[in-house]
């Protein structure tokens, strides 16, 4: 098979107009695919420069393939089975700002750059006061972006038409509001001046968005069949479901510049993304953060296996219909229809969504996806939602590490969080684990021990898991 690069395959080149923070599976299967379709269907004529947001990443691999990779979309659309493989050609190159900071800043000097997109996980949009303007680069994503914007402001002398349109795709509510607030904090901390602040607030737009597509990632089980289809060596093949939705809270003027509707894509520009966000995060991403740790520790590897198992699947339905759905203030029939569609997507026979991929940064995800619902449930019912608390207990158990059968449990989260869990488990006391986790300000930003009964219930479930195993714990809480 031939190597995948621009010498061995004829593809079109486009002007660099988009800076993308993140080289992971989701952005390549979602945003870059959308740009790919806009280029072909709406004459968008844009390519993407990928910036690696952390020191260790995949841009070297991406550059070795000249930014090319294949996307395998599978599912049922309009009653028809879809199993497509497309060569995505919109990434021009990748940059590692930790290795070449001057080249990173040069992106700001390109007059054609107009858009910024990002997916740095829920933990990415945070203000880190230790960051400095002189860092090469700033550690946080908002810090890096502020450095870039300030350089652009200076290069173009504050020209109003050189502002940027910024679409964060991190799965937190009002991600645009949160990102803008972080940038404004850096403007103040670094004393960048009123002129720059005025330019940022009036010439740039940071818009909240909601993204929705299940992306299992690299199809390790199907890779040989896919390589036989494409006849190229491709180390960056990514698999996703055919369903997609991108809700962007922005005015019509932005929609005109980003003409996804002309490409027939499910990209909505709306006055408020709040109802879409609450529905999706609560009824799709929320159950993920229960089924993934519970399913994995019960011996299952994929979302589909978890949902179709009689024991774990029953718990998932309990979490969706009994615990999370009643916390939403939307019409019941609409919520039921959406929840049933979610279960269908979870059982998509064409997509193998490994639960270990969901466990990346599990604690920040549980905070944003499940804690709000847990609190509302307690306020409404006066008692705790068993399934959600079991999900938290399962995450805590997962972070204990060790092995599941012959597989080493690979924990990927903020180092401080991982070390905290390791130290708590080293005490040998599930009570101390429960108290310490719930009190962790670095995770929750508050002390969850204040929620009545949560500490004792979490400790009891941790003990039950240790003594009887995860499946017995599931049977205990399932109704």
Look at residue 164 in the predicted model and tell me its pLDDT. 98
Return the half-sphere exposure (C-beta side, CA atoms, 13 A cut-off) of residue 333. 0
Look at residue 159 in the predicted model and tell me its pLDDT. 98
DSSP letter string, 76-90? EETTEEEEEEEEE--
Omega within 30 of 0 (cis) for the link into 453: no
Q: What tens-digit pLDDT sequence spans the chain (479 residues)?
A: 899 999 999 999 999 999 999 999 999 999 999 999 999 999 999 999 999 999 999 999 999 999 999 999 998 776 678 899 999 999 999 999 999 999 999 999 999 999 999 999 777 899 999 999 999 999 999 999 999 999 999 999 999 999 999 999 998 889 999 999 999 999 999 999 999 999 999 999 999 999 999 898 999 988 999 999 999 999 999 999 998 999 999 999 999 999 998 899 999 999 999 888 889 999 999 999 999 999 999 999 999 999 999 999 999 999 999 999 999 988 899 899 899 989 988 988 887 889 999 999 999 999 999 999 999 999 999 999 999 999 999 999 999 999 898 889 989 888 999 999 999 999 999 999 999 999 999 999 999 999 999 999 999 999 999 999 999 999 999 86
Look at residue 412 in the predicted model and tell me its pLDDT. 87
Q: Strand pairing of 165-168 and 205-206?
A: parallel
Residue 435 neighbours by CB distance under 10 Å: 19
Query: If one looks up domain 274-477 in CATH, what number appears?
Result: 1.10.1040.10
User: Helix, strand, or coil here: 245?
Assistant: strand
State the distance between the two ends of the chain, measured CA to CA, in whole angstroms: 53
Gap between the Cα atoms of 263 and 159, Å rounded: 31
Beta bridge partners of 16: 47
Superfamily of chain region 2-271: NAD(P)-binding Rossmann-like Domain (3.40.50.720)
Q: Strand pairing of 238-241 and 69-77?
A: parallel
Helices (H), 271-331: 274-280, 286-297, 303-308, 310-317
Q: Strand pairing of 209-212 and 232-233?
A: unpaired
What are the boundaries of each domain within the chain? 2-271, 274-477
Q: Which residues contact 128 (CB under 8 A, 6 or more apart)?
A: 138, 139, 140, 143
Most distant CA pair in the chain, distance: 66
Q: Which residues contact 155 (CB under 8 A, 6 or more apart)?
A: 108, 109
Tokens of residue 211, six digits: 């993204």
- Please name which of 143, 145, 159 lies closest in space to residue 116, comparing C-alpha atoms: 145
Angle, CA 360 vertex, CA 357 and CA 364 arms, to 5° = 140
Gap between the Cα atoms of 255 and 5, Å rounded: 33
Gap between the Cα atoms of 119 and 212, Å rounded: 13
Residue 119 neighbours by CB distance under 10 Å: 26
- Please name which of 296, 454, 298 lies closest in space to residue 385, comparing C-alpha atoms: 454
The one-character DSSP state at 157 is T
- Please name which of 282, 277, 40 lies closest in space to residue 168, comparing C-alpha atoms: 277
Give yes or no on whether 2-271 and 274-477 have one common fold: no
Look at residue 275 in the predicted model and tell me its pLDDT. 86
Look at residue 1 in the predicted model and tell me its pLDDT. 87
Question: Can you give the length of the chain in residues?
Answer: 479
């Amino acid at each position: 098979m031939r190597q995948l690069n621009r010498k061995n395959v004829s593809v079109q080149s486009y002007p660099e107009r988009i800076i993308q923070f993140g080289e992971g599976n989701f952005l390549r299967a979602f945003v870059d695919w959308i740009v790919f379709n806009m280029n072909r269907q709406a004459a968008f004529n844009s390519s993407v420069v990928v910036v690696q947001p952390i020191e260790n990443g995949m841009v070297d691999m991406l550059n070795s393939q000249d930014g090319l990779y294949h996307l395998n979309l599978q599912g049922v659309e309009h009653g028809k089975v879809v199993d497509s493989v497309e060569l995505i050609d919109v990434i021009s190159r990748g940059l590692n700002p930790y290795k070449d900071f001057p080249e990173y800043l040069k992106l700001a000097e390109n007059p054609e750059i107009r858009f910024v997109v990002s997916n740095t996980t829920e933990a990415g949009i945070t203000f880190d006061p230790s960051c400095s303007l002189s860092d090469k680069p700033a550690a946080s994503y908002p810090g890096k972006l502020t450095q870039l914007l300030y350089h652009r402001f200076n290069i173009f002398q504050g020209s109003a038409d050189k502002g940027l349109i910024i679409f964060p795709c991190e799965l937190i509510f009002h991600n645009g509001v949160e990102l803008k607030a972080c940038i404004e904090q850096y403007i103040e901390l670094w004393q960048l001046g009123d002129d720059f602040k005025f330019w940022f607030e009036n010439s740039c737009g940071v818009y909240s968005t909601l993204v929705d597509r299940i992306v299992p990632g690299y199809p390790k089980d199907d890779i040989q069949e896919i390589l036989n289809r494409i006849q190229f060596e491709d180390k960056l093949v990514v698999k996703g479901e055919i369903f997609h939705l991108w809700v962007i809270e922005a005015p019509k003027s932005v929609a005109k510049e980003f003409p996804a509707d002309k490409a027939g894509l499910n990209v909505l520009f709306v006055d408020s993304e709040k109802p879409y966000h609450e529905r999706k995060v609560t009824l799709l991403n929320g159950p993920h953060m229960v089924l993934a740790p519970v399913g994995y520790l019960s011996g299952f590897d994929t979302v589909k296996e978890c949902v179709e198992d009689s024991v774990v699947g029953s718990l998932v339905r309990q979490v969706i219909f009994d615990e999370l759905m009643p916390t939403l203030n939307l019409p019941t029939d609409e919520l039921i229809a959406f929840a049933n569609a979610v279960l269908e997507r979870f059982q998509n026979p064409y997509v193998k969504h490994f639960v270990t991929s969901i466990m990346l940064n599990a604690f920040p995800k549980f905070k944003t996806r499940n804690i709000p619902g847990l609190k509302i449930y307690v306020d409404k019912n006066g008692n705790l939602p068993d399934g959600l608390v079991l999900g938290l207990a399962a995450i805590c158990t997962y972070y204990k590490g060790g092995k599941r059968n012959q597989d080493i449990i690979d924990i990927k989260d903020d180092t401080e969080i991982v070390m905290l869990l390791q130290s708590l488990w080293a005490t040998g006391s599930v009570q101390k684990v429960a108290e310490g986790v719930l009190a962790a300000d670095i995770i929750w930003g508050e002390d969850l021990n204040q929620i009545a009964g949560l500490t004792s219930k979490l400790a009891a479930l941790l003990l039950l898991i240790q003594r009887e195993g995860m499946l017995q714990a599931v049977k205990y809480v399932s109704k």
